[in-house]
Amino acid sequence: DTEVTQTPKHLVMGMTNKKSLKCEQHMGHRAMYWYKQKAKKPPELMFVYSYEKLSINESVPSRFSPECPNSSLLNLHLHALQPEDSALYLCASSQRDREGDGYTFGSGTRLTVV
């Protein structure tokens, strides 16, 4: 298995809703990432988990809450989002000690906040 699987592919939520994005990989990668990508822009790093511990939080608002239940799963819990949070949310993973391998990205969740 050489994929990162993200669900759902599309999500529409209201500003008072609570929802979660899910990401799964079975490549044995020990680093997992959440990125946010607005249209026609490069991905922006949000969070990094290394060995299931949060190692980087790029000053992301608390309405985004990451969780890493185990080495294969990464969640992003969403609450009280704003319309400007609408974007493509990408999950990625990497084998930290083989840097040249780069990231493996999922296909993303297209989030629309109404």
Partner 1 sequence: GEDVEQSLFLSVREGDSSVINCTYTDSSSTYLYWYKQEPGAGLQLLTYIFSNMDMKQDQRLTVLLNKKDKHLSLRIADTQTGDSAIYFCAESSGTYKYIFGTGTRLKVLA
Q: Which residues make up the interface to partner 1 (CB under 8 A)?
A: 4, 6, 31, 33, 40-43, 45, 48, 50, 55-56, 90, 92, 94, 96, 99-108, 110
Kindly state the smallest distance separating residue 82's Cβ from partner 1, in Å. Answer: 23
CB of 4 vs partner 1, minimal distance in Å: 8
Q: Minimum distance between the CB of residue 75 and partner 1, rounded to whole angstroms?
A: 17
Length of the chain: 114
Distance CA 62, CA 77 (A): 10
Task: Please state the closest distance from residue 45 (CB atom) to partner 1, in A.
Answer: 6
Between CA 82 and CA 5 the distance in angstroms is 25
* CA dist., res. 29 & res. 36, Å (int): 20
Q: Select 60 or 105, whichever has its Cβ closest to partner 1.
A: 105
User: Between 36 and 78, whose beta carbon lies closer to partner 1?
Assistant: 36
* 30: helix, strand or coil: coil
Sequential DSSP letters for 70-108? ETTEEEEEEES--GGG-EEEEEEEE-TT-GGG--EE---
